[in-house]
Chains A and B, each alone.
Chain A
Amino acid sequence: MHYFSQSFDYDHSWAHVIIGMWHKYPNPHCSHVVTVDVVDRSVDPCSGIIRTERVLGCKQRTPTWIVKLFGGSEDAFVREISFVDPSTQTTTISSVNLSLSQFATCHEKILYSPAAGGRTAFHQTAEIQTRMVMWRTAADKLENWLAVRFEQNAQLGKVGFTDVLRQLWEDAKDKSPAGTPAPA
C-alpha cells in the first residue's frame, strides 16, 4: 500500500475557499480533469449540510503496459462525495477511482477547516492499494505508477486552486464571483 498526505493553509476564509471549490475546474494547471458532473445533491433542511456526489472525468496518458495488462484507457472516472457543514465549518471530500477499480483503489480524503488568521487549513490523504491478489511485480508497479501520478496531480491541484481563489477573491475584489451577488 502507498500512503500520501499533505497539509497547508490557503490564504482565504473558509467560506471563500468553499465557494471557490465549485469553481476549481476547468483549470489550466489541472488539465487532466476534463469533465465534472453532479450526479446527486441534497440540502438537509435540519442540519444545513450539503451533500454532493460528483463524477469527474480525467484524461491522462496511460502507459502502454497498463493498457496491455489491465485494459485501461485514457479516460478515467472518479466518484467524489463532499459534505459542506456550515455549523462546524468543515468540508470533507472523499474520492475513489471508478476506472481500474477492479484492480486497484485510490481513496482520497480532503478536509477543509478554519485556521488561525482567517486562513483555511487543507489536509489531504490518499491510500493507494491493489485490490486483488495478483502477480506481485505487476501489483507493485501499478501501485507505484498510481502513487506517482497522484502526487503530481496533488501538487498541480494546489497550484491550480490557489490561482482560482486569487482570481475569485483578490483580482476581482469589486466584482462578484461568476456574476452573482457578492457574499458579504
Chain B
Amino acid sequence: MAHSLEERCTPLKLEYDSCFNSWFEGYLEPAVSASASPENRAEYSKAKAEEYERKCGKIWESYRDCVQKAVKDKGLDDLLDQARKENPLKEPPRTS
C-alpha cells in the first residue's frame, strides 16, 4: 500500500487500508448479485454499511484526523476546498 503524504499518518493509513480492502473484497461480488432485486439490494447495502462502520469506523476516524491535519499543514486545505466548491461530485457523474 502507498504511504500517506504525512509519514506520521502512514501506520494509521496502512491499518485503515487493510481494514477497508478486506471489507470491500467481501462486499463487492455479493453486492452485484444482491442488485438483482431492489429489496435485496437495500437490505444488503444497509447491513454491509453497518458492518463497515463497525469494523473500520474507529481506525478510519484516527486516520482521518491525522490526514486532515496533514492536509492543512501542507497548505492543501484551501486548494481542496476550492476544488470541492467548483465540483462537489456528491453524486456519480452521468455516464451515458
Contact = CB atoms under 8 A, between A and B. Distances in A.
A181 B90 CA distance: 31
Main secondary structure of the interface of B (DSSP, over half): helix
A96 B83 CA distance: 8
Contacts of A181: 22, 25-26
B79 A183 contact: no
A45 B9 CA distance: 28
Contacts of B4: 35-37
A39 B64 contact: yes
A124 interface: no
Contacts of A81: 89
B49 A44 contact: yes
A83 to B, nearest CB: 4
Interface residues of A, number: 55
Interface of B: 1-5, 9, 13, 16-18, 20-22, 24-29, 31-32, 34-35, 41-42, 44-46, 48-50, 52-53, 60, 63-64, 67-68, 70-71, 76, 79-80, 82-84, 87, 89-90, 92-93, 95
B46 A46 contact: yes
8 contacts: A38-B20, A43-B53, A44-B49, A48-B49, A51-B90, A94-B93, A98-B79, A98-B83
A35 B5 contact: yes
A177 interface: yes
Contacts of B83: 79, 96, 98, 101
Contacts of A132: none
